[in-house]
Amino acid sequence: LLIDKLIMPNALIRKLGSFELLSKAESQAVLAAYKNVRKIGPRKLIIQQGDKPHEAYVILEGIACRYKLLPEGTRQIMDFLIPGDLCDGHVFVIRKMDHSIGTISPCTVAYVDLPRLAKLIEEYPRISRALWWVSLIDEAVLREWIANVGRRPADKRIAHLLCELFMRLERIGQANGSSVEVPISQIDLADAVALSTVHTNRVLRSMAKKKLIAMQRGSITVKDVKTLMQIAEFDSSYLDMNGRKAKRPNRQNSRVSL
Amino acid sequence: LLIDKLIMPNALIRKLGSFELLSKAESQAVLAAYKNVRKIGPRKLIIQQGDKPHEAYVILEGIACRYKLLPEGTRQIMDFLIPGDLCDGHVFVIRKMDHSIGTISPCTVAYVDLPRLAKLIEEYPRISRALWWVSLIDEAVLREWIANVGRRPADKRIAHLLCELFMRLERIGQANGSSVEVPISQIDLADAVALSTVHTNRVLRSMAKKKLIAMQRGSITVKDVKTLMQIAEFDSSYLDMNGRKAKRPNRQNSRVSL
DNA sequence: CGCGTTTTTGAAGCCCCTCAAGTGTAGTGG
DNA sequence: CCACTACACTTGAGGGGCTTCAAAAACGCG
């Protein structure tokens, strides 16, 4: 379990490495920027809308989300954060967070030393560029969400989000064969697709009847991605527009300790 | 008019400069990367969803937009591009565009020499970082759009977008006192806020009756931002989360020729 | 002047929402 | 170990905000 924690940070390196070939020195520099690892309970606030961020962190285990609370009291989730995702590159630019970040399931989070991260960016142009590229991918995801929330009917909308989460979770090795358990509640899902929980439930229920998914309290398991992708007219290309094929994680780097 | 074209590229420098203090050498390097300037007619395609981009460009005059065409035939606009906006930083990462870019009004566009831009990023870490920061701001805008489209009723939704465009256009000097002409048709607006043109028209009409806006064929002028901001519960902080105050454009740099 | 496009208006209807109540499930403490 | 509580899920019923369809009016361009 401890070993997991030590190895997981490579998720970030793997991610950065899929855009830029990082040298051994660069990878080690990234790992050296990790400060400490913390466990956070479910549905806890990590950073709040309006706060000035003073830390950056990487999700190692669990799932979190970015969201906004609107004045009417409704919540809009704008992204799910899964292991390997860097939570705040924003740290340098931003005075005030425009959104909040909170955990959904219990999470393990690695905190990044800010001065050291700043130095990294200064010293290694490739790391800086890799971070930029990660942002560009994030933008593509956000654009797809706008189209999803704006123009798709409820069933396609939910199917589309499930497909995206399936792909992203599968990519980090969370798949059991062809099925993936997505550890979010119907309430979270509803706030991500901008539908009421009532209607979300009805759509999910009808999907479950067709064996496309299975429902548990607090999670949904995708069973039949293929037909979900047909329903959503899902095109995954927005998720992997990287310049080169993702490199297999480098065994040597995997052994670098914190 | 020609002078305008020569000076306008500084919009990008001004933008980058508001995040990073660029040295004179850096600013000149950016300007030197400009290749040629082209005029493009209204509602013309600049680059299409699925294409591999081979150029980057900066809007100098006019207004363009990013959008997706969904299989059902509907269009979702995900961003408006105004003078000073860099259209494809994506160029290096992306194999296939996840969205299209097209003009709305006639546009003047400066094309950027890609190899030279690549070299710039390699040589000047501050430029690379500034580009990253621009991306982060873009992300904040995209997140606000998700919340807008997802959770706000029609009147607030339209008011919110008009407020955003007011702010962005005012910032680049397109304001006439307290009113700004937003040069987009109701059809474009409807596709941006994810409403039907019919309903968009009715909402606009009622706003016009209250003297909040004025309507022309192909454009809307914002007359009373204050109450529009109240209606939308608009908080502009997501638009200017930059690390330092925007610097006044540097006169010396303004004179660097293409 | 004529034609394409944008804007406008009316009318009917549906998708999804809100309200409301009930069922199930996990965690808590006596 | 079992009430008790909290929260997630479920289901029904009614209503409303927006949509689609349809067609006319207004504008600007060649």
Count other C-beta atoms under 10 Å from residue B219's C-beta: 17
pLDDT at B1 over 50: no
Token reading at A125: 């142009």
In this structure, the dihedral spanned by the alpha carbons of residues B183, B185, B188 and B190, taken in order and rounded to 10 degrees, is 120
Cβ of residue B238 closer than 8 Å to a chain A Cβ: yes
Q: What is the mean pLDDT of chain A?
A: 86
Q: Give the residue on A whose Cα is nearest the Cα of B52.
A: A241
Which residue's CA lies closest to nucleotide D8 at its C1' atom? A217
3-state secondary structure at position A192? helix
User: pLDDT exceeding 90 applies to what percent of chain A?
Assistant: 55
In chain B, what residues touch A18 (CB-CB under 8 Å)?
none
A/B interface, count of CB pairs below 8 Å = 147
Model-level pTM greater than 0.85? yes
Q: Residue B102: which pLDDT band, with cuts at 50, 70 and 90?
A: very high
Cβ of residue B95 closer than 8 Å to a chain A Cβ: yes
Residue A234 Cα, gap to closest chain B Cα (Å): 10
| Percent of residues in chain A assigned helix, strand, coil, to nearest 5 | 45, 20, 35
Cβ of residue A122 closer than 8 Å to a chain B Cβ: yes
User: In the predicted model, what is the mean pLDDT of residues B23-46?
Assistant: 87
Nucleotides of D under 7 A from a protein CB: 8-13, 17-22, 27-28
pLDDT at A66 over 70: yes
Q: What is the pLDDT of residue A258?
A: 28
Q: What is the pLDDT of residues B161-205, one digit of tens each?
A: 999 999 999 988 899 988 999 999 999 999 999 999 999 999 999
Q: What is the pLDDT of residues A117-137, one digit of tens each?
A: 888 888 887 887 788 778 888
Q: Give the residue on A whose Cα is nearest the Cα of B195.
A: A150
Q: What is the pLDDT of residues B111-166, one digit of tens each?
A: 888 888 888 888 887 887 788 778 888 999 999 999 999 999 999 999 999 999 99
Most B CBs within 10 A among A139, A141, A196, hence the mutation to make, goes to: A139
